[in-house]
Amino acid sequence: MSISVVKNSNLDADRAIRTASALSVRGLTVSYGQTPAIFSVDMTVRTGAMTAIVGPNGAGKSTLLKAALGVVKPLAGTVSVFGQPLARMRDRIAYVPQRASVDWDFPTRVIDVVMMGMYRKLGLLGRIRASHRAQAMACLDRVGMSDFATRQIGQLSGGQQQRVFLARALAQDADIYVLDEPFAGVDAATEKAIIAVLKELRDTGRTVVAVHHDLTTVPDYFDDVVLLNTQIVAAGLVSKTFTEQNLQATYGGRLATARADLESTAG
C-alpha cells in the first residue's frame, strides 16, 4: 500500500512536470546596439509537441532561440524550462546550431563531434568507455551516418554535416531539442531522415522546437507554430494559427516574395 502511495506521488510529480510547458519565455528582449532583434517576446512551447518558429529574414528567429538557450544575453526577460530557471535545466536541452556557425575544417572526426554531446555527462575527466562509444555510434546510426564515423568532418556534404549535428544532440539524450534552421541547404534525403528522427523524438515525449523557413512544409512537419517578426504575431496549433491572415501579418509585403523564393528553390 505504502509503496503504491509513493509511486502515485512520483507519478503526480512527473505529471506536473509534463503538463508544465517545456520552455517558457517572458518579456524577452534582445538588442544588438540600439535596434531590438526581438522585442518583449512571450512564448510557451508545449511539452511533447513539435513547434516551428517562422518569420521573415531578420525577424529574430535565431536570436530568440539563442536567447532562450542563454547563448545570447537578453536585455530583459526570463526563461524557464519545465517551470525551473534555465540555469539549472541546461542539461535537459540539446541545441543544434546553424551549420554555418562552425568551421568545418576543424580537426575532428564525425564520431568525436557526436561524443561532444556527452561531455556534460562525462564531466572534465570522466573516462570515455566502450559503452559511450557504442552510444555515440547508435546516435549516428539513427541519422544514417554510421558509415562516416571516422571521416574528418570537412569531407561531409552539407546534409551530412547537419545529420552529425543532430546526432550530437541525440547523444545528449535531452528532453528538449532546439534546432536552428535544420533543413537549410540540405538534400531531400537528409530532410526526410531528420524529420523522421524529430517525429520519433516527439512520439517518445520529447519536445522539439525548430526555426523553419519553408512555409509549405510547416503543416506536414509541425504541431504548433510561432509566427515571429521581432514581436510575436501569432502562436498556437498549426491548424488554427497557420492562416493566410496571420502569415500576411507576419511577412507583410514579403509574403509573396517568400513564397516565390520557395518555389524557385523547389523547382
Partner 1 sequence: MLADALLLQLGYNATLVTLGACLLGIAAGVAGTFLFLRKRALVSDAISHATLPGVGLAFIVMVSFGGDGRSLFGLLLGAGVSAAVGLLCVHWLATRTRLGEDAAIGAILSVFFGLGIVILTIIQTMNSGRQAGLEGFLLGSTAGMLRSDALLLAIAAAAVLALVMLLRRPLELAAFDPGYAEAAGWSLARIDLAMMGIVLVVTVVGLKVVGLILIVALLIVPAVSARFWTDRSDRVVLIAGIVGGVSGYVGAAVSAVAPALPTGPIIVLVGFALFLVSLLFSPGRGVLASVLTHWRYQRRVHMRQGLLALAQGQPIYEKLTHRLMYRAGLILPDGVATGDGQAAASKALLDETRWSIVRADQSFAAAATRYDGLTAIEEFLTKDQLREVDRRIAAPQAVL
Q: CB of 27 within 8 A of CB of 78?
A: yes
What are 187's three cell numbers? Answer: 538534400
Q: Is residue 266 a contact residue for partner 1 (CB under 8 A)?
A: no
Q: Is residue 66 a contact residue for partner 1 (CB under 8 A)?
A: yes
157 vs 257, beta carbon nearer partner 1: 157
Q: Is residue 172 a contact residue for partner 1 (CB under 8 A)?
A: yes
Which of residues 43, 45, 69, 167 is near partner 1 by CB under 8 A?
69
120 vs 199, beta carbon nearer partner 1: 120
What are 44's three cell numbers? Answer: 510557451
82 vs 95, beta carbon nearer partner 1: 95
With CB under 8 A as the rule, give the number of residues binding partner 1: 33
Q: Is residue 1 a contact residue for partner 1 (CB under 8 A)?
A: no
Nearest to 224 by CA among 94, 78, 92, 47: 47
Q: CB of 62 within 8 A of CB of 180?
A: yes
155 vs 248, beta carbon nearer partner 1: 155
- Helices assigned H by DSSP within the chain: 2-19, 61-68, 86-89, 110-116, 119-122, 130-142, 158-172, 188-203, 218-221, 238-241, 244-251, 254-266
116 vs 137, beta carbon nearer partner 1: 116
Cα torsion at 147, 148, 149, 155 (round to 10°)?
170
Which positions touch partner 1 (CB under 8 A)?
A: 66, 69-71, 90-91, 93, 95, 97, 101-103, 106-109, 112-113, 116, 119-120, 122, 124-125, 144, 152, 157, 160, 168, 172, 178, 187, 189
